[in-house]
Each structure stands twice: as C-alpha cells, then as structure tokens.
Amino acid sequence: MKRPVKLITSAVAVLLAACATTPATMPEVEQARARVDTLARNPQASQAAGKDLTAARAALANADQALEERKDREVVAHLAYLAERRAEIGLARIDEATARARITEAEAERNKVLLAARSAETSAAQASAQEQAQDAQASREAALKARADLETLQRQYAELQAKPTERGMVVTLGDVLFDTAQAMLKPGAAVTIGRLATFLNQHENTRIIIEGHTDSQGSDEYNSDLSRRRAQAVADVVVADGVPSTRLEVLGRGEGFPVASNETSAGRQQNRRVEIVFSNPDGTLSQTPQP
C-alpha cells in the first residue's frame, strides 16, 4: 500500500512545480495591457483601427486566461507579444490615417485656389483667350500633379529609408528587430513594417522581395534556415496588414551576400539584416542580390 501513496505524492509534487513555473502576474502581459489601453483611449481607434483593437483585446484576453491557468511562461509571453504587436499596428495605422487626412485637406485648399484663379481668368478674357487659358491651365495642372506624385513617392521612399541600387529601391532592416539567433519580431518592429505595408497598399502595382541575410557564424544550413525564417516573419506582418501574399517573394540568402567583413562584431551586425527590394514601375524584380 505504500507504493501507490508515493506515486500520488510524486504526481502532486510535479503538478505543484508546474504551477509554480508561471507567476500570477508577468511584466510582458502588463506591458501589452498598457499598449492596448493606449490604443483603446485614442479617439480614432474605432474608426481607423477597429480590427486591430479587436484583435489586440482578444490576444490580451487569451494571455490573461493562459496566465490564470498558469500555463508555460513562454506561451503567456507569446500571447502578450501578439496583443502588443496588434496594438502597435493599430497605433501606426491611426498615424497614417491622420497624415492622409492632412494631405487631403491640403489638396482641397489647393484645388480651391486653382478654381478661383481659373474663374478669374475666364471672366477677364475673350472666348479664344479663354480656350487657350483653359488648355494652359490643364497643362499646368497635369504638370503639377505629375510633380506632386513624384515628390510624394520620393518622400514615401525617404520615410522608409529606402536607397537606390542597381536592383531598384532597397530598404534594409537591421537585426535590432530580432533577438539574437531568433526569428520572432520584437514588438517595436510593428511600426517599421506597418509603414512598409501602408506603402504597398497605396501602390498596388508594386511587388517586393523580402530577403534574409546572416553573418558567417554557424553552419551554412543553420544560417540559410534562420535568414529564411526572419524574412518570413516580416512577410507575415505585411500580409496581416492587408497586402496580398502574391505580391511578395520570401528568400533566405544565409551568409552568402555580406555587406561588411565578418571578422569584426560591427561587420557581423551589418551582415545580419533583412532587405526589402522594390520592383520597377512595370512590376519586374531582380532575382540576384549584388555581393
């Protein structure tokens, strides 16, 4: 009879130990809760980021439930990360909506001024002069629009910190978006990648290649897999923000295309990166990075 008692005692001890691994509160959950509350308090949350707020609250509820059930710390932390990331995306979306509203207001004011100028020209000129003035105005407006579109595109690329290369415009995301040897994005990466997704949603003909790169530490197989998983993590956020996956190509380049020497820690840090390569205006993409 002593043996069953010992078995029961051991089982209880294991259960108690498992419960003890997860505390009653975790800073990751509270940090996520604070970020979700920040989004919820924003007056534009329901209109500009309603889906993000709903998703963030659902993820936070899952984290709270997992914490209450004393599930593994990593499970709780991951659920909290999802809640915080969705809140970050929502806040970024609100910022973008605010910026678009300001641009719309500026364009409306500009159109108002142009209309007033056109009316003044019409009332003061003869019929033939009116026709010439209208043609000239149309040409000026077309030129202004073309220039404004180009300036907008250049400004958006500048905001993304894109640089011109032989392959087209390229945005480089450093390894600060990831923990060492990990492929899970840090919460702060949502804002940066959210800007990329917003740009792609505004330019529906643009396609991109998302390339992961590593330093020379570790085996070729390990580096190839890590670079692919990091690139895929970025792609997953872009797709989650409304960009069709058919416009993305994900590649793991491993250690094969360094931009600095792998002999120093600073050089290795530069080599650990994710590059976003933008297509040409006709949608064509270069497949091979320049070593």
DSSP letters of 191-241? HHHHHHHHHHHH-TT--EEEEEE--SSS-HHHHHHHHHHHHHHHHHHHHHT
Residue 288 in any domain: the answer is no
Least trusted range by pLDDT, from 75-89, 112-126, 262-276 = 112-126
Q: How many domains does the chain have?
A: 3
Does residue 83 sit within a domain?
yes
- Among 96, 113, 132, identify where a domain stops: 96
Kindly tell me if the per-residue pLDDT of 168 is higher than 80.
yes
| Pairing between β-strand 208-213 and β-strand 248-254 as defined by DSSP bridges | parallel
Q: Identify whether residues 253 and 206 lie together within a single domain.
A: yes
Torsion of CA 36, 38, 41, 44, to 10 degrees: -90
Residue 109 lies inside a defined structural domain of this protein = yes
> pTM for the full model?
0.51
Domain region containing 216: 160-278
- Examine residue 110 and state whether it is found in any structural domain, yes or no: yes
Q: Is the pLDDT of residue 19 over 50?
A: no
- Better-scored residue on pLDDT, 38 or 123: 38
How many whole angstroms separate alpha carbon 161 and alpha carbon 149? 18
- 197 and 274 housed in the same domain: yes
Give 177's pLDDT tier (boundaries 50, 70, 90).
Answer: confident
Helix (H, G, I), strand (E, B) or coil at 88: helix
Mean pLDDT of the chain: 84
Does residue 273 fall inside a structural domain? yes
* Residue 173 and residue 111 in one domain: no
CA distance 178 to 189: 8
The pLDDT score that the predictor gives to residue 122 is 67
pLDDT of residue 6: 47
One domain, residues 221 and 233:
yes
Tokens standing for residue 255 = 């250690």
Q: What is the mean predicted confidence (pLDDT) over 215-242?
A: 94
Are residue 117 and residue 208 in the same domain, yes or no?
no
Give the bridge partners for 276, in sequence order. Answer: 171, 210
pLDDT category at 240 given cuts 50, 70, 90 is very high
Residue 14 — pLDDT band, cuts 50, 70, 90?
Answer: very low
Same domain, 237 and 171: yes
Does 4 have pLDDT greater than 70? no
Residues 18 and 83 in one domain: yes
Question: What number of other Cβ atoms are within 10 A of residue 176's Cβ?
Answer: 13
In this prediction, residues 204-231 reach a mean pLDDT of 93
CB 255 within 8 A of CB 216: yes
The mean per-residue pLDDT over the stretch 189-203 comes to 89
Distance CA 90, CA 277 (A): 25
Report long-range pairs for 21-24 (Cβ below 8 Å, ≥24 apart): 21/70, 21/72, 21/73, 22/67, 22/70, 22/71, 22/72, 22/73, 22/76, 24/67
What is the rounded average pLDDT of the residues 177-196? 84
* Inside any domain, residue 16: yes
pLDDT of res. 146: 65
- Judged against a pLDDT cut of 80, whether residue 287 lies above it is answered with no
pLDDT band, very low/low/confident/very high, at 152 (cuts 50, 70, 90)? confident
Torsion angles phi and psi, residue 87, rounded to 5: -65, -40
Model confidence at 165, in pLDDT bands (50, 70, 90)? Answer: confident
Q: What is the DSSP string of 34-63?
A: HHHHHHHHSTTHHHHSHHHHHHHHHHHHHH
pLDDT class for 118, splitting at 50, 70, 90? confident
**Domain co-membership, 150 together with 165:** no
Examine residue 284 and state whether it is found in any structural domain, yes or no. no
Considering only CA atoms, give the Rg of the chain. 27
